[in-house]
Amino acid sequence: MKRTRLEKIFLFTVIIFLILITAEFYFHDNIHHLLFHKTHPPIKMGILHSLTGTMAISEKPVVDATLLAIEEINSQGGLLGSKIEPVIADGRSDPAFFAKEAERLITRENVKVIFGCWTSASRKSVKPVVEKYNSLLFYPVQYEGLERSSNIIYMGASPNQQIIPAVNWAFKNLGKKFFLIGLDYVFPRAANDMAKSVIGFAGGEILAEEYVLLGNSDFSKIVDKIRETKPDVILNTLNGDSNIAFLETLYNTGLFKTDISIMSLSMEENEIKSFLDRMKTAGKNNILKEHMPGLYACWSYFENIDSPNNRRFVEKFVNRYGPNIRITDPMEAAYIGVNLWYRSVKECGDTDNSTNITNHLHNISFPAPEGIVSVYYNNHAGKTVRIGKVNANGAFDIVWASNSPIDPVPYPSFRDKTYWEAFLKTLYKRYNGQWSAGKTRADTDE
């Protein structure tokens, strides 16, 4: 009788054990999911770019690149036991609104880091916000330098990695007479100040220097002046859809068929694609074949880099976003930035202390499509310099590249730091306490 009771207890225990094993097998994922999210809330990452306005054509694809990097990390298990949750904000192509959205992301959305900005005016507007809250901004675009913040990671090229080598190469290979055109904000003004020094030192000539407001689409008077002055090279520091309007005006006035070359410091593949699409819609094909001297740009990354790593990178984008995607330098820089931040946070085990994160970041490299990328102790990335010429399909063929990554020098050495600080102070005063000309919308938009 005693044995029978023990047998019943044993049999009951076995049945319960089997039920628990079965439940674990069938419901493991759901139970784990609930526990995972209960104990490990998502890590919020801010993405702050222009989804509307004149800069949207350039910045929307950078959002796509940032999201792709996040998706890849999450598919591999996330970060520190949590998924990364992107929180996307629209800067509306307005520097003042960028600042408002940065503060909202940090104080209301509680993001741990922000990836964003394109124009230097928007970055400089966000800078005091991330410094105030000791947050981090990963900035993906080449810029004028003249800045170093412990709260900004500069993933784009510094002046010695883009502006200066681009002007030197153009002077040696395209001509000695320059026409400078740009938008009226801090980057074009500073870039052209540097360009004038480089051209002057080399014995070249500045024929004219013209600026337009952000979003400007009327270039008729400037193009008339280009025709009159007959430069060898147009040094272009326009941004966004102003680049498209400028190219259209050049074409419509016949200047595409002249011997003038264009070296652009902020024109990329998506803007060229939009220009070509507009021309095709108007029944005008083979536009770029008619411009014999060529359209040039200086970046660290072009989609046509011939390496296994870059081919895999391009394939990822095509698989995710379709065959019509054009991959630009700021897109690649944003993708690199997410991965460097991920590796740094994973190594230090900390998402909150920006100093701890950047200290670890300085000891990490990433095998990027453009080559190995490291962030130096001045928070700027080492970058390879490349110059590309637009081909008939609107892509860039690389015509020159530096032999290796160039160390970043944010303050060009041919002027002392006092000069550059005075230059920025004068510019800020000229813009009435902003970093771009013209009235912003942020004071009225809520």
Instruction: Encode the chain (446 residues) as per-residue pLDDT tens digits.
Output: 445 665 655 555 656 555 655 555 444 444 444 444 455 899 999 999 999 999 999 999 999 999 999 999 999 999 999 999 999 999 999 999 999 999 999 999 999 999 999 999 999 999 999 999 999 999 999 999 999 999 999 999 999 999 999 999 999 999 999 999 999 999 999 999 999 999 999 999 999 999 999 999 999 999 999 999 999 999 999 999 999 999 999 999 988 878 899 999 999 999 999 999 998 888 887 777 766 568 999 999 999 999 999 999 999 999 999 999 999 999 999 999 999 999 999 999 999 999 999 999 999 999 999 999 999 999 999 999 999 999 988 899 999 999 999 999 999 999 999 999 999 999 999 999 999 998 543 333 43
- Buried/exposed code over 156-172 (b: 16+ C-beta within 10 A; e: otherwise): bbbbbbbbbbbbebbbe
Residue 169 identity: W
Q: Give which of 278, 218, 205 is closest to 253, Cα–Cα.
A: 218
What gap in Å lies between CA 300 and CA 177, rounded to an integer?
25
Q: Cα 328 to chain center, whole Å?
A: 8
Helices and strands (H, E) in the chain, number of each type: 13, 14
Name the CATH code of domain 43-157+308-383 (choices 1.10.10.2520, 1.10.357.10, 3.40.50.2300, 2.120.10.70): 3.40.50.2300
Q: Tell me, what's the pLDDT at 284?
A: 84
Cα–Cα distance list, 258 to 210, 293, 330 (Å): 20, 8, 31
- 236 neighbors 246 (Cβ within 8 angstroms): yes
Can you tell me the distance from the alpha carbon of 400 to that of 422, in angstroms, rounded to the nearest whole number? 34
Which tokens belong to 406?
């160039």
List of residues 6+ apart from 239 with CB closer than 8 A: 54, 55, 58, 118, 119, 183, 187, 214, 266
Give the whole-angstrom CA distance, residue 417 versus residue 429.
18
The residues of the chain that CATH labels 3.40.50.2300 are 43-157+308-383, 161-303+412-430
- So what's the architecture of 161-303+412-430 in CATH? 3-Layer(aba) Sandwich (3.40)
Distance from C-alpha of 304 to C-alpha of 283, rounded to nearest angstrom: 28
Report the pLDDT value the prediction gives residue 255, as an integer from 0 to 100: 87
pTM, two decimal places? 0.89
CB atoms near residue 432 (< 10 Å) = 8
The encoded tokens of residue 237 equal: 């520091």
Q: CA torsion 295→140→218→276, rounded to 10°?
A: 50
Tracing tokens 């222009």 back to the chain, one arrives at 50
